[in-house]
Amino acid sequence: MADVKWIKITTSIFDDEKIKLIDSMPESDGIFTIWIKLLVLAGKIYDEGYIYLDENIPFTDEMLAAIFNRPLNTIRLALDVFKKFKMIEILDNNFIFISNWGKHQSLDKLEKLKDQNRKRVARHRE
């Protein structure tokens, strides 16, 4: 895991058609909260949008319910909605992948910034 303490969320998130559709659902608050928690978890793991307990253990629905402190049925509903809207992919090995993670998080820019910071620190230590 990298030492990244933030994720990008666009100020136009509530203008997104998928978020608007989620907002119209009966369990909208729970589903949206789970979406944000998944994004944060992907940011903590920092593996190009993959979400897992460790590299060999995918999260189960039950694990996510415990970690997110949400009812299991709400977790399952949210994951179904996210799959339907192509916001996530559940891979054959049951790992969760956030679709378009790199695009939304500007990973190339983040890597460039980390490289610049490394060089700056190295120069400072000289």
Architecture of domain 13-101: Orthogonal Bundle (1.10)
The contacts of residue 58 (CB under 8 Å, 6+ apart) are 52, 93, 94, 95, 96
pLDDT at residue 20, rounded to an integer:
97
Query: How many CB atoms sit inside 10 A of residue 85's CB?
Result: 16
The 3-state secondary structure of 38-106, one letter per residue: HHHHHHHHCCCCEECCECCECCCHHHHHHHHCCCHHHHHHHHHHHHHCCCEEECCCCCEEECCHHHHHC
pLDDT at residue 4, rounded to an integer:
67
Cβ–Cβ < 8 Å for 51, 98: yes
Cα(104)–Cα(7) distance, rounded to whole angstroms?
A: 9
- Candidate from 93-97, 102-106, 109-113 with smallest mean pLDDT: 109-113
Environment class of residue 31 by beta-carbon count within 10 Å: exposed (0-12), middle (13-18) or buried (19+)? Answer: buried
Query: How many CB atoms sit inside 10 A of residue 105's CB?
Result: 22
For the stretch 40-84, pLDDT in tens is 999 999 898 999 999 999 999 999 999 999 999 999 999 999 999
SS3 123: helix
For the stretch 13-50, pLDDT in tens is 999 999 999 999 999 999 999 999 999 999 999 898 99
